Amino acid sequence: MKILVTGGAGFIGSHVVDRLVLEGHSVSVIDNLSTGKIENVNREAKFHKIDIISPRIERVFKKERPELICHFAAQMDVRRSVADPIYDAQSNIIGMLNLMENGLRYGVRKVIFASTGGAVYGEGVPYPTSEECIPRPISPYGISKLTGEHYLIYYNVSYGLNYVVLRYANVYGPRQDPFGEAGVVAIFNQKILRDEQPVINGNGMQTRDYVYVDDVVDAVIASTYNDINDVFNVGTGVETSVNELFRHLIEITGKSHIKEVHGQAKKGEQLRSCLSYDKIRKALDWEPRVPLREGLTRTIEFFRGRL
């Protein structure tokens, strides 16, 4: 199959590209390299350095003629979306519409869309949160991702374009950016291994559902080989506080001299997030396979190798 992966030089996207190439697909990658890295791109994939909001993206569709789009390119920082909601909307809404319109024009049959679990559902929902909960996003990032989901329904009803929406929990693993504002596992990893002091935002009691990147790739692959049009959570159903995460990392690295330090809470940060995966387990036979301690150990070894 001819597959286009947007954000294919980034953290999750590059792992997806690796798996798709391994399974024998013809893969093209779009990435503007604002956060992605060219060294992440599989050598067997065709790379196009371009932003998804650029009108020049039509040239890529005309040349590659993809049948499937795996859409990972996004502005994905909740706090940046609060500080600059216009930029967030340009990337996550206008950029997606640019892909959809070109996809219709050049024969795309299906889209797998990377959405967000915690930011879409908002606060005050049952935990673990199921897809039956009405989304009430409280950040521009969550709003823009939910808008993307609604556009996919529109394109399906109006043009027959198939889709799968994957609402991710907090994805972590090798290649995650340790220098950004998002991605606490990578940020803490880098600092701890360098004997620097990580700072926990607020009281550290805010919880997240941490899912390992290989499990996320499995969910994408499961979504590729079916005709289902639906929305699925991709998480573990387990809440872990930032304080607990920090202690796991200290224990695994053996850096007991690094103590727990707290800073100011960040505006726009959710207090809790945890996703039920019952629906995707029943529909696509997917479930998380990598426990948190094992995933953290693999991630630490990756960052150790880079240092």
> What does the pLDDT look like over 225-278, one tens digit per residue?
988 999 999 999 999 999 999 999 999 999 999 999 999 988 767 789 999 999
Give me the mean pLDDT over the 87-115 stretch. 97
Give me the mean pLDDT over the 116-123 stretch. 89
Q: Which fold has domain 2-171+211-234?
A: Rossmann fold (3.40.50)
> What does the pLDDT look like over 91-102, one tens digit per residue?
999 999 999 999
Integer Cα distance of 203 and 44 in angstroms? 45
| CATH 3.90.25.10 residue ranges for the chain | 173-208+238-273+290-306
Nearest to 174 by CA among 34, 6, 46, 296: 296
pLDDT at 268: 64
pLDDT at 122: 86
Give me the mean pLDDT over the 199-221 stretch. 96
Class of domain 173-208+238-273+290-306: alpha beta
pLDDT at 56: 96
CB-facing half-sphere around the CA of 186: CA atoms within 13 A: 19
Which residues in the chain belong to E strands, given as ranges? 2-6, 26-31, 46-49, 68-71, 110-116, 162-168, 170-172, 200-201, 207-208, 210-212, 230-234, 240-241, 262-263
Active-site annotation, residues: 141
Confidence category of residue 82, pLDDT binned at 50, 70, 90: confident
pLDDT at 246: 97
pLDDT at 77: 82
pLDDT of 215 > 80? The answer is yes
Query: Which residues lie closer than 8 Å to 66 by C-beta, 6 or more apart?
Result: 2, 3, 4, 28, 103, 106, 107, 108
Q: Which residues pair with 232 in a beta bridge?
A: 166
> What does the pLDDT look like over 162-186, one tens digit per residue?
999 999 999 999 999 887 656 899 9
| CATH 3.40.50.720 residue ranges for the chain | 2-171+211-234
Give me the mean pLDDT over the 127-151 stretch. 95
Q: What is the mean pLDDT of the chain?
A: 95
Nearest to 120 by CA among 140, 96, 91, 98: 140
Helices then strands, counting H and E runs in the chain, come out as: 12, 13
CA-based torsion, 149, 147, 83, 122: positive or negative? negative
